[in-house]
Amino acid sequence: MSSDRFKAWEKKIMAAEQEVFSVVKPIIDKYDPSILLRMGAPSDEYDSECKKIAEVIVREGFGLGYGSSLHFNEEELGNLIAFVWHMEFGQWSRRPQYLPHFYEMAREILPQLPKQFPALRPNHHKDEAVNPRG
């Protein structure tokens, strides 16, 4: 893949990630899983966690163009949120805690996500290969 095509592909992925972030962020903030916002933390406190969640949803949940339809379910998304929280806030010597509020967040996030990102489908544009491995 040429450098220009790769850059165009990455731009599409980043736009999809931003769209997913705009769904994930308000829900995570509403639940405030680490109670940091209620303790006065800045409103961007959970941005990095929300960006990681959005990135995985787009890059794994939509299959990077190989399926382009969301294939996460509520349990998988809840597991992802729990794991991101453990990576950022957990103690490494302990197992991740898969708490009910992670699945409640997933239950709220899923119906608000786009069901497809057509621009991430292989050969979305006739004259532009969007498959990064092609």
Secondary structure in 3-state letters for 85-100: HHHHHCCCCCCCCCCH
Average confidence score pLDDT of the chain: 83
**Residue carrying the six token digits 């621009």:** 119
Q: How far is CA 13 from CA 30, 31, 59, 69, 71, in A?
A: 26, 27, 8, 14, 17
- Integer Cα distance of 40 and 57 in angstroms: 29
**How would you write the pLDDT of the chain (134 residues) with one tens digit per residue?**
578 888 888 888 898 899 999 999 999 999 999 999 999 999 999 999 999 999 999 888 766 544 456 778 899 999 999 999 998 887 777 887 888 999 999 999 999 988 777 666 655 444 444 444 44
Summarised one tens digit per residue, pLDDT across range 33-48 is 999 999 999 999 999 9
- Residue 38, both tokens: 């209620």
Task: Show the DSSP H helices in 32-60 as ranges.
Answer: 47-56
**Residue carrying the six token digits 């497809």:** 116
Whole-model pTM: value is 0.81
Model pLDDT, residue 104: 97
Q: Residue type for 114, please?
A: P
